[in-house]
Amino acid sequence: MTQSEKEYIQDKLLSGYENLMDISVEFISELGTTSLSLKELLKLDKGSVIDLEKPAGESVELYINNKIFGKGEVMVYEKNLAIRINEILDSKTVIQYFKREN
């Protein structure tokens, strides 16, 4: 982000909303979804596999406060699962999300 973009965000978008910068947000990365019948659900046991109907290697969706924020790929970082961001909304759009919520 350039200095002029940072200044624009600070001067125009955050005017009156400076307190937003310190709020916590819920970050969710959705690996995939599927539907199960109650019968299938009750048959699940340790070691069961649930097909998420999403090809391996496909991008996962990233959400902030239940709003799409970007896409990324699952990876291992320092022995933990992590997300490498491949697509992300611009800062102006993100700030607008939070302005509408408050």
Q: Is 22 helix (H, G, I), strand (E, B) or coil?
A: helix
Class of residue 62 by CB neighbours under 10 A (exposed 0-12, middle 13-18, buried 19+): buried
Model confidence pLDDT, tens digit, residues 3-26: 676 666 666 666 666 666 777 888
pLDDT of residue 80: 92
Model confidence pLDDT, tens digit, residues 35-61: 999 999 999 999 999 998 888 888 999
Half-sphere exposure in the Cβ direction for 6 (13 Å, CA): 3
Model confidence pLDDT, tens digit, residues 56-97: 888 999 998 888 889 999 999 999 999 999 999 887 787 777
Domains in the chain: ranges and CATH: 24-30+56-102 (2.30.330.10)
pLDDT of residue 53: 81
pTM, to two decimals: 0.64
- The type of residue at 54 is K
- The type of residue at 3 is Q
How many Å is the Cα radius of gyration of the chain? 19
Whole-angstrom CA distances from 24 to 4, 21, 27, 65, 69 are 26, 9, 9, 10, 15
DSSP code, position 89: -
pLDDT of residue 95: 74
